[in-house]
Amino acid sequence: MPLLIKGRYRARLAEGAEDVVAAQALRTLSFRTSAPDRDGFDDICSHILVHDTRSGALVCCFRMLVLEGGGDLARSYSAQFYELEGLRSFEGRMVEMGRFCIHPDWHDPDILRVAWGAMTRFVDEQRIEMLFGCSSFAGTETGEYLDAFAMLKHRHLGPKRWLPRVKAPDVFRFAARLRRKPDAKKAMLRMPPLLRTYLLMGGWVSDHAVVDRQMNTLHVFTGLEIGAIPPARKRLLRAVAG
């Protein structure tokens, strides 16, 4: 049964191993990894797939790991890269979204809207109070993203009580190192679309980026309290999800 059908796109939960393999294939293509993109988290996550209803093509996918609260964070993918002790005090249900990707040949903005609509429905049905994950910048060189990182430092750092500490061996401590005033236009142009959407909803980020050479990305921990989403934005999301 589909989670959501809007226009020419249909979002649904994976129903078996064949769907998960299809999602892994799209991730491998999108992330341009030399080996198939799969790991042990695939076995414990719910996978959401977005298809084009006209051609049947899989155009987007991501996975969701439901946690009962902050005490369950050690099970998450993010915990491999970030020290999340501060968030252990969070008492509500949480969901980690990961491996989000859109087919590189598809550029319709409705795909992202439908994905967020499906995510909204999943969050509501599971009574989730915090959404989190790793938001990725392509490549491992920081130079072209300095305005984006400066913007994150000046406007979007997480609350001190929850801010992840450094755990990974290779990080870019942008909050400590950058002194520049961000160029807002350049910052938003270089901000990944998924992260940009998180921020528009009131999301926050870690004070450092992890340099992930295996995935050829820079990523920041990203958190979003569902209760903190602005009412107007929440209405838009639920309009899509409904």
How is the chain split into domains, by residue range? Answer: 2-241
The residue to which tokens 């084009």 are assigned: 52
Tell me the average pLDDT across 108-117: 93
Tell me the average pLDDT across 77-104: 96
40 in the Ramachandran plot: left (φ > 0), alpha (ψ -120 to 50) or beta? alpha
Tens of pLDDT, residue by residue over 122-162, are 999 999 999 999 999 999 999 999 999 999 999 999 999 99
> 33 vs 71, which has greater pLDDT?
71
Tens of pLDDT, residue by residue over 219-231, are 999 999 999 999 9
The residue to which tokens 């994976």 are assigned: 14
Q: Is the pLDDT of residue 102 over 60?
A: yes
- Residue 56: which H helix or E strand, with range? none
Asked if residues 35 and 57 have their Cβ atoms less than 8 Å apart, the reply is no
At residue 236, the pLDDT reads: 84
Phi/psi for 135 (5° steps) reads -95, 125
Q: Is the pLDDT of residue 25 over 90?
A: yes
Phi/psi for 172 (5° steps) reads -115, 110
At residue 235, the pLDDT reads: 87
Task: Measure the CA–CA gap between 157 and 206, rounded to whole angstroms.
Answer: 6
- C-alpha 162: how far from its chain's center? 18
Q: Return all residues near 72 (Cβ < 8 A) that are at least 6 apart.
A: 94
Angle at 121 between CA 118 and CA 127, to 5 degrees: 140
- Is the model's pTM score more than 0.75? yes
- Cβ-based burial of 50 (10 A; exposed 0-12, middle 13-18, buried ≥19): buried
Q: Is the pLDDT of residue 6 over 80?
A: yes
Q: Is the pLDDT of residue 1 over 70?
A: no
Asked if residues 46 and 15 have their Cβ atoms less than 8 Å apart, the reply is no
DSSP state of 42: G
CATH 3.40.50.2300 applies to domain 2-241: no
Tell me the average pLDDT across 215-242: 90
Partners of 157 in beta bridges: 205
Percentage of the chain exceeding pLDDT 90:
88
E strands along 19-154, which residues? 46-52, 58-67, 82-83, 94-102, 130-138
Partners of 209 in beta bridges: 172
